[in-house]
Amino acid sequence: MALRALQTLGETHVTKGLGRLTTGIMTGGQGSYIQFDDGRKLLDFSTGIGVTSLGHCHPKVSKAAADQCMNIVHAQCSIAFHEPYLRLIERLLPVMPHPSLDSFFFWNSGSEAVEAALKMSRIVTGRPNVICMQGGYHGRTYGAMSVTRSKTIYFEGNGALAPGAFSIPYPYWHHFGLSPNTSPAELANMSLYQLKLLLAQSTAPKDTAAIIIETVMGEGGYVPAPPEFLRGVREICDEHGIMLIIDEVQCGFARTGKFWAVEESGVRPDILLSAKGLANGFPLSAIISRKEVTDQLKPGMMGGTYAGNAVSCAAAVAVVDAIKEEKILANVNARSSELFAALKALAAEPDVAPHINEVRGKGLMVGVEFASTTYPLPNAAQAIPKLASLVSAKCLEKGLVLLTTSIYEVVRFIPPLNISEQEMKDGIKVFSDAVREVIQEHSK
């Protein structure tokens, strides 16, 4: 069947519940670029939503996976150990954000990692409730979507979600109706106050198993958590015996310029979650905790048919090695400085400034929030409706894949961590030109 016919087959038979950014069939990927059946070659600043962090088909990672395919593909984790699983633990132990994190379980996806963390925290504490963040995203499976608060599309029509999930405002100025210039310390204090109220009014500490937080909120708008907020939550957890689950499914594994985003705050997670960039495109997630915690679990409480797949683990070992050998963290910080400087210069241009609320993020996890007609700031200039989507579409026309995120008008930059200086310049130029053109086309 020809590719054009396959496109029609897909449009007819793939569930409508899946959305797509563009038409066509992706036929290849190499480094920072992807190719389509119609000949398009696009600079990819989406990396499969933060997954192919070392670029498409990284030679060391792909070779490690291919070699493993010729050894053993499925070594079921409940039958015996397999070498890549243990090699991955060997590589991860030295890069943990705290030495207490020494017990590992590998699963397939970020949602499954969240499910495992929720289950583990309830078993270990004997408590039913979990506190999540307004704007947080943790997945689409039943338990994970019960602690997701970024968009109602992920759970609308499902009726009652899993019980025992409570939320507080994340330290994000929108959540308090404040200005983008509000200091992180003030936002942290306001969120911590709401947390204390919640524990006094809605879920008693003795009934609260865990608090789950994204160190940098992803789907909710690419908003970093102030370090003082994370430290304050840690203190409250310690006071009441509540477990702190740090979700770094998207922001971990060198994405923010540190191996783990939580390192900046010095906070110790009780459970740390990773996925996405962990295996550079192969399905794998990690649930990492303390041995003193996981020793309370009974054998069989954790598991899964494909959990800790040998090929995925082999790929992840190669990812960790490449991050060190190729000096990825240094590249992330260098390219991040260039990206932030260019975006802030663009946001200061007289014709553009009224349309950009904020440039924010960490490392190569960067969001640009445009003015919104749906959630306007007080006294804001007349915003262009759906500006983020218009800019994303214009970038696509010009050869750059750039995604939107959240209920606000946000575009997100998630380029490869090993992106070159020239590729970064090329992407910035496309974005800057697209912003100027869209504003000119739609301004009244």
Alpha helix positions (H), 14-102: 47-50, 59-69, 83-92
Please tell me the predicted confidence (pLDDT) of residue 159: 81
Residues 380-395 have pLDDT tens digits of 767 999 999 999 999 9
Q: State how far the Cα of 434 lies from the Cα of 392, in Å rounded to an integer.
A: 8
9 with 53, same domain? yes
Domain assignment present for 62: no
**For residue 19, what pLDDT is reported?**
87
What does each C-alpha distance from 226 to 199, 221, 280, 365 come to in angstroms?
21, 15, 28, 15
Per mean pLDDT, which range of 189-193, 425-429, 439-443 is the poorest?
439-443
User: What is the residue-averaged pLDDT of the chain?
Assistant: 96
Look at phi and psi of residue 361 and say left if phi exceeds 0, alpha if psi is from -120 to 50, else beta: left
List 29's β-bridge partners, or say none: 34
By mean pLDDT, which of 10-19, 142-151, 292-301 is the weakest?
10-19
pLDDT reading at 346 higher than 80: yes
Same-domain status, 51 and 129: no
Q: Tokens 């971990």 correspond to what residue?
A: 252
What pLDDT digit, counting tens, does each position of 207-251 carry? 999 999 999 999 999 999 999 999 999 999 999 999 999 999 999
Portion of the chain with pLDDT greater than 90, in percent:
91
> End of a domain among 300, 325, 350?
325
Mean pLDDT of 272-299: 97
CATH at 245: 3.40.640.10
Confidence tier at 422 by pLDDT (50, 70, 90): very high
Same domain, residue pair 257 and 232: yes
- Find the domain containing 377 and state its range: 3-57+327-442
Q: Based on the fold, state whether residues 76 and 220 are members of the same structural domain.
A: yes
* Tens digits of residue pLDDT in 46-96: 999 999 999 999 999 999 999 999 999 999 999 999 999 999 999 999 999
| One domain for residues 263 and 363 | no
Residue where one domain finishes, among candidates 264, 290, 325: 325
What is the side-by-side strand order in the sheet with 356-362? 356-362, 365-370, 410-413, 403-405
- Cα-based torsion angle of the residue sequence 151, 234, 358, 31 in order, rounded to the nearest 10 degrees: -80
With a CB cutoff of 8 Å and minimum separation 6, the contacts of 248 are: 214, 215, 260, 261, 262, 272, 273, 274
Confidence of residue 444 (pLDDT cuts 50, 70, 90): low
For residues 104 and 248, membership in a common domain is answered with yes
Instruction: Tell me, yes or no, whether 320 and 356 share the same domain.
Output: no
Percentage of residues of the chain with pLDDT beyond 70:
99
Q: Looking at residues 305-317, what average pLDDT do you find?
A: 98
Last residue of a domain, one of 325, 358, 377: 325
